[in-house]
Amino acid sequence: MVRVSPFFPTEKTMYKLLALLSLAALTALAQTKPADTANGKRLFERNGCYQCHGWVGQGGTAGARLAQTRLPLIAFTAYVRNPASGGMPPFRAKVMSDQELADVYAYIKTFPEPKAAKDIPLLNQ
């Protein structure tokens, strides 16, 4: 018989903890005021997001494309807070609050669709 430490949570306890954390995150996001795209632009520039993701979210060698993201706000926030290892640095709440991330997300959602290749003269020569 395998003895489990009393300090090691059971699978059931882990699911309860995950549900509680998810509820807390949703509650925090629900309490944010309407997003401010002007502030989102300011934060995007101040925090250097453009350096890797480009001025219009087109992405590059160091950052993923953000324009036309299909991620919902909660997934965007979760990724920015805890990105994949080796990728971008985490932006914890001390750096950008949930409201500020909502503002950045709103700003990103304003990025225009890219032109189709057929509409770019240089590509059609």
User: Percent helix, strand and coil across the chain, each rounded to 5?
Assistant: 50, 0, 50
The CATH classification number of 34-114 equals 1.10.760.10
pTM to 2 decimal places: 0.69
Sign of CA dihedral 8, 14, 18, 21: negative
Q: Read off the pLDDT of residues 81-109 as tens digits, 9 standing for 90 and up.
A: 999 887 889 999 999 999 999 999 999 99
Report the alpha-carbon distance of residue 65 to residue 81 in Å, rounded: 17
Question: For residue 57, is it left (φ>0), alpha (ψ between -120 and 50) or beta?
Answer: left
Determine the average pLDDT of the residues in 65-74.
Answer: 92
| Residue 112 pLDDT level (bands cut at 50, 70, 90) | confident
Residue with tokens 């795209």: 37
The ranges assigned to domains in the chain are 34-114
Q: Read off the pLDDT of residues 21-33 as tens digits, 9 standing for 90 and up.
A: 666 666 655 555 7
